[in-house]
Amino acid sequence: MEATWERSIHLIHENGDWMSQLPENLWDVPLHNLSLPGSHDTMTYCLDKNSDISVNESKLLQLIDKFMPCIIHPIIMKWSITQVLNVSEQLDAGIRYLDFRIAHKPNDPSVKLYFVHMVYTTAVV
């Protein structure tokens, strides 16, 4: 039997063309007057479990994570992950607003930018 969340993911893939099914009276309505489905922290499906906590988070949280990472880091990862679908899958599911939060890792000598939500992603901008 298929898991419930897997079934849900399968079903949402059927919504990718929802905008083509809008009633005719909405065809000329500007996008800023429509409510568009979006994803909060779009890139959190690929958070780096080995990443440091973002410097934007509280110093206390960073300090606790430094001394008790085996306790705090798993909790932070659970708080941080808001998406399980990648960007393509989100678009196929009908999402039309993407929330990208981008940051540079402070101790990273490269000029790479990463997506971030409490911790950094494995994906580079």
> Which tens digits make up the pLDDT trace of 27-56?
999 989 999 999 999 999 999 999 989 999
pTM over 0.85? The answer is no
Under 8 Å between Cβ of 76 and 116: no
Residues classed as catalytic: 40, 117
User: CB count, 10 Å around CB of 102?
Assistant: 11
- What is the model's pLDDT at position 14? 75
Residue with tokens 């009908």: 94
Identify the three-state secondary structure at position 104. coil
- What is the model's pLDDT at position 4? 59
Identify the three-state secondary structure at position 97. strand
Summary mean pLDDT of the chain: 89
**CA dist., res. 14 & res. 10, Å (int):** 8
- The tokens describing 8, both together, are 């849900």
List residues bridging with 53 in a β-sheet.
Answer: 119
- The tokens describing 50, both together, are 């080995």
Q: Is 39 exposed, middle or buried (0-12, 13-18, 19+ CB in 10 A)?
A: buried
Block mean pLDDT (10 aa), the chain, length 125: 56 79 93 93 96 92 93 94 94 94 92 96 95
